[in-house]
Structure 1
């Protein structure tokens, strides 16, 4: 039987302008009422995940920033990880010439070095404002402890930038295309899969008692944790291939689990 159901946010549970399908809300509430624990695993901030869980009206664990931070349903910190300041500075220097907006996340804030129209556009899809800090990199290790560095831009630029980052830092850090418009750069071994493993160990749930659903390349480590993995039909074909099943909506994954007698 499934004891834990994990959902990604953007492109999976969460649509544009923070829209959530009523059917998905009802399916998660049904799981909550059936004593199946819920979790959200996202590249977003912990604050964003908490807001979504509150909007849905359910309780759940939170795996934020691709596994950099893990909190259980009672707000206990299970795991946290930051960049070493020197490595974060090296990354920022390397991506300086990329034709994209660069943001730096800490545990609870998002920074960028200059304001432009793209920053405003990105901000509309977040649950908090991006802070403008012109001396951003110089604050690393002092007032700013980076946990995630993100490049935002057009899909073609995202693909090229991800390739360059992988080539330069492949054995020093992890990077993911978390959305067609984003490349997330993380400390080494920080991913949703390892974040979920930390959660499972803490709450005493086995991988085969877990189901998950996602739609992006940063969900692939999550798919590897459990045999009950679902990819959204809108996901890239390479993402779909790595999941056990493909569905159109979150609620369809819940219904499938019920049909199989796992829920």
Structure 2
């Protein structure tokens, strides 16, 4: 019997990276009416995720920044696994030296370098030169989503974060240049005590090796006195694997890679076809 439902956002619950469809909303409310605890598990910051639910008749628990944080429905921090501060600063330094766009997730704020906006648009322009037939609408939408996050701020340098007392929970590196992204990933692959996960084709996340959606779901389920066998999870990408593998019932989106789909119990429709609603409706019938 499902008692907790964990939902990823981008590529899963969100249509085109921005909206929660009426059918998905209705399905979530139907699950709530059955007494199911609905939890959001995302790579986004908690406050950005919470903003999506401001007009809902309920506020969910948020597993944020790929499991580095858990916030209760009131927005209070319940649990966190931040990066070691000096290590985080050293990794941000490397990203700046390699002129990679990044976002540093701290409590209540997302920080990105001032050069970031220009850099990403330059990379899109370069793509257009090398692949003139490419449809750039998707890339431009990705940039719009990044810069449209709640509490998003540009900083002059990573050194600004040295001056704060804030923990750094997660670092996102992002590029439309495939070689540049791979090279960036390789520079962190041998660092102990961190995990590198991907939530999209054009990014990777640097986080504490104990921070994952799976670990956070385990901690939250224990807090709510719910067995993992009674949890369901839905996701579409590699940062979702840890929770999909431990949930009693797992669903991959129709738009997920085959590797993600193969580890799940159920493959639903794509995020642009109300795949979350399709899955919820299916298990509520059982």
Normalization by structure 1: what TM-score?
A: 0.88
Between the aligned partners of 2:25 and 2:177, the Cα distance in structure 1 is: 30
Inter-partner Cα distance in structure 1 for 2:45 and 2:179: 24
* Shift in Å, 1:231: 0.6
Tell me if 1:225 matches 2:251: no
Name the residue aligned to 1:145. Answer: 167
- Cα deviation for residue 138 of structure 1 reads 5.2
The answer to whether the 8 A contact 1:32-1:58 is kept is no
Instruction: Please list the CA deviations of residues 130-175 of structure 1 after superposition, one character each: whole Å capped at 9, or x if unmatched.
Output: 3222232353363443111111112734862575155332x32011
Q: Map Cα deviations across residues 9-40 of structure 1 (whole Å, 9 max, x no partner).
A: 00100123512222111100111122111100
Q: 1:124 aligns with which of 128, 131, 144?
A: 144
Rate the CA distance shift 1:118–1:12 in 2: closer, same or farther, 3 A. farther
Cα distance change on mapping 1:210 and 1:246 into 2, 3 Å: same
Give me the whole-angstrom Cα distance separating, in 2, the residues matched to 1:161 and 1:235.
25
1:258 alignment partner in structure 2: 284
Consecutive unaligned residues in structure 1, runs of 5 or more: none
Distance 1:90 1:220 in 2: 28
SS at match of 1:25: helix
Matches within 5 A, 1:15-54: 15-16=15-16, 18-54=18-54
Mapping for residues 180-195 of structure 1, pairs under 5 Å: 180-195=201-216
CA-CA distance at 1:242 after TM superposition: 1.8
Hey, what's the Cα distance between the residues in 2 that align with 1:96 and 1:25? 40
Q: TM-score, normalised by structure 2?
A: 0.82
How far, CA to CA, are the matches of 2:222 and 2:199 in structure 1?
25
Give the superposition deviation at 1:117.
Answer: 3.2
Give 5+ residue unaligned stretches, structure 2: 122-139, 270-274
Task: Name the residue aligned to 1:203.
Answer: 224
SS of residue matched to 1:79: strand
RMSD: 2.3
Give 3-state SS (helix, strand or coil) of 1:167's partner. coil
Partner of 2:101: 101
Take 2:177 and 2:223, find their aligned partners in 1: how far apart are those partners? 37
Task: Report the 3-state secondary structure (helix = DSSP H, G, I; strand = E; otherwise coil) of the residue aligned with 1:62.
Answer: strand
Q: How does 1:169-188 map to 2 (within 5 A)?
A: 169=191, 171-188=192-209
Say which SS state the counterpart of residue 107 (structure 2) adopts. Answer: coil
CA distance in structure 2 between the partners assigned to 1:107 and 1:199 by the alignment: 19
> Paired residues, what number?
259
